[in-house]
Structure 1
Amino acid sequence: MSLDALIMGVAFILIHLFANNLIPSERIRRLKWFSFSGGLAVSYVFVYVLPTLHKEQIIVKKYGDYFTMESELYFVGLIGLIIFYGIQKVVRNAQKTSSPGKVKTLFWLQIIFFGVYNMLVAYTVISHEVLGIQAVFYGLAVGMHFIAVAHDLWREYPEIYNKVGKYVLAFGIVAGWTLGIGVNLSPLTESVIFAFISGAMILNVLKYELPPDDEAHFITFSIGVISYTTITMSLKFFFQW
C-alpha cells in the first residue's frame, strides 16, 4: 500500500468518526457548506468518474468474446444505481409506516450496505494506485462525499449511528485496505467493482447530496463546481492523469 493511499484511508476513517463536528451548526453556513460540497461532488462525477468508467470499458474490450456491446460496464453501473436507490426507498418508506423495531432492522440493512460501499471505494483507491497530487484532489471529493453520507445517516438515526453506525462505516474502509493488500483481483473484476460503485455514487451525489432547491446556495455551488473542475482539468492537461 502506498503512503498516499494510507493517508487517504486514515482521513476517510476520521471523517466517519467526526463528520458531524466538521459541519457548521449555523443554518446559513451549513447550507453553503453543503452547496459547496455538492458542487465538488458533481464536478468529481463528470471529470473523474465518467471518464474513468469509459477507460475501464476500454480495458474490458480485450475480453471481446464476451463483451461486444461496448457498454457492459455502464450496465453494471446502472445495477449499482438501482440497488442503492431501492434500499434507500425501502428504508425511507418504512420510516413512515413501520414500528420502531422494524425501522431499526432496516437501518442495519442500510448501514451494512454503506459499509460494503466504503469497502469497495477503499479497495478501488488502492487498486487504481491513485498517488500524489491526484490523490489529494480525488481524495478531497470522495471525503466530502463521505461527510454528506455520514451526516445523512446521523440525521435519521442519531443515537444508534453515534453508538455503532459510524464504526461500521469506518470498518468498511479498513476492510477495503485489507482486501486491496491481500487480494489480487483480475483487471476485469476491478473494472466491474468500479462500475458498480460508480452507479451508486452518481445516484447518491445527484439525488441525496445536492441540497433541495429551497436550501441550495447556487453561488457557492457554482464556486465548488468551477474551482474543482478548473483545477482538476488543468492538472489532467499538464500531468496527463
Structure 2
Amino acid sequence: MNIDSNLIIITAPAALLFILIFLYGKHIHVLRLFTDNHCSIESFTTGMSIAYVFMHMMPELHEAREIISESESLATPFDGMLVYYLALIGFIAFLGNERLRSHLSKFDDALINSGSEMTLSKSFLVHIAGLVIYIGLMSYLLVRSTESSITGIALFAFVFGGHFLVMAHGLIKEHALGYQRYGRWILAFGVFLGWLIGVLTILPENSLAMLTAFLAGGVIMINSMMELSANKEGRFAWFAVGGLLYGLLLLSFI
C-alpha cells in the first residue's frame, strides 16, 4: 500500500481543525467579533457553504458527469445525467433523516436520572447517525476530491470549519448534555475515520464521482435546513454577504 505522505501533510491540519471544532466548539466564538446574534452567524456561514456548492461542487458535478458518461464499466443510457440523480438522492436521503429526527423529537428526549445515567433519545441517535455519515464523507472528500494544493485545502477548511462550528453550537443548544457526553466524540471520530479512509484508500473515478454527487445533494439540503428552519429567523443580509464574499474569494483563486 502506497501512502502519499504529502497528502497527509496538507490535509491533516484541516482534519484536526474539524476534530477540535466538534470537541471544543463550545468555547470557540470567532464571529462574535462581528456580531453576538447566533442567527446572523449561522446565516453568514450557510451563505459561504452554499457559495462553495455552486462555485466548486457544481463544476465538480459537471466533471463527474463527463467521467460517468465516458465510463465503459458504468455504461448508462442517461449520458451522464445519473450524477444529478445521485445528487437528488443525497438531498432526499438527508432530508429524510432530518424529517425522521424532527418527528421522533416530538415523542422523546434525552433523559438524565438522579444517578447521572443518561437514556439517549431516538431523535438524538438518528440525528447523530445522519451527521456522522455526512461528516465522514466530507472528511473523505477533503483528501480525495479537493484540489491537492495548500490553497484548495485551506479554502475547504475555511468554509466547512465555519459550517461545522455553527453545527456544533446548534447541537449543543439542541441536545445539551447528550452532545457533550457522546455526540461530540462520535462526530470527531467520524472526521478522523473519514480522513483516515481517504488517506488509505483510493476509489475508482466512477465511484468518487458518484460519491461527490451524493454529498453535494446533502450539503445543499443541510445548509438549506439551517437557513430556512421554521424555528429561527434567518438573516438574509448576512447570508448574502457570506455567500457573495466567499464566492469572490473562490473566483480569485480560479
TM-score (norm 1): 0.87
Distance 2:185 2:227 in 1: 21
Of 151, 165, 184, 1:133 maps to 151
Could you tell me which residue of structure 2 aligns to residue 35 of structure 1? Answer: 43
Which amino acid is the alignment partner of residue 247 of structure 2? T
User: Residues 163-214 of structure 1: CA distance to partner in whole angstroms, max 9, x if unpaired?
Assistant: 0101100101111122112222211111111111111111011122457697
Could you tell me which residue of structure 2 aligns to residue 239 of structure 1? Answer: none
Describe the shift of the 1:180–1:114 C-alpha distance in structure 2 as closer, same or farther (beyond 3 A): same
Distance 1:150 1:192 in 2: 28
Could you tell me which residue of structure 1 aligns to residue 76 of structure 2? Answer: 67
Of 146, 149, 155, 2:173 maps to 155
Where do residues 39-188 of structure 1 align in structure 2 (5 Å cutoff)?
A: 39-63=47-71, 66-69=75-78, 70-98=80-108, 104-130=121-147, 131-188=149-206
Of 15, 18, 23, 2:24 maps to 18
Any idea what SS the aligned residue of 2:253 has? helix
User: Residues 91-118 of structure 1: CA distance to partner in whole angstroms, max 9, x if unpaired?
Assistant: 1112113475797123112212211221
Distance 2:166 2:56 in 1: 19
Describe the shift of the 1:84–1:223 C-alpha distance in structure 2 as closer, same or farther (beyond 3 A): same
Q: Which runs of 5+ in 1 are unaligned?
A: 237-241
User: Residues 21-44 of structure 1: CA distance to partner in whole angstroms, max 9, x if unpaired?
Assistant: 224499843233222212212211
Cα pair 1:35 1:211 within 8 Å, conserved? no
Which amino acid is the alignment partner of residue 34 of structure 1? E
- C-alpha displacement at 1:151, in angstroms? 2.4
Distance 1:71 1:52 in 2: 14
Any idea what SS the aligned residue of 2:173 has? helix
Cα pair 1:32 1:217 within 8 Å, conserved? yes
Distance 1:161 1:121 in 2: 20
User: Residues 57-100 of structure 1: CA distance to partner in whole angstroms, max 9, x if unpaired?
Assistant: 11112225623312101111111111111111111112113475
Q: Which runs of 5+ in 2 are unaligned?
A: 1-6, 112-118
Any idea what SS the aligned residue of 2:76 has? coil
Distance 1:103 1:167 in 2: 15
Describe the shift of the 1:119–1:213 C-alpha distance in structure 2 as closer, same or farther (beyond 3 A): closer
Which amino acid is the alignment partner of residue 165 of structure 1? G
Describe the shift of the 1:106–1:223 C-alpha distance in structure 2 as closer, same or farther (beyond 3 A): closer
Describe the shift of the 1:46–1:27 C-alpha distance in structure 2 as closer, same or farther (beyond 3 A): same
Cα pair 2:104 2:122 within 8 Å, conserved? no
User: Residues 105-142 of structure 1: CA distance to partner in whole angstroms, max 9, x if unpaired?
Assistant: 23112212211221111111111253211211122111
Once superposed, what is the RMSD of the aligned Cα atoms? 2.5
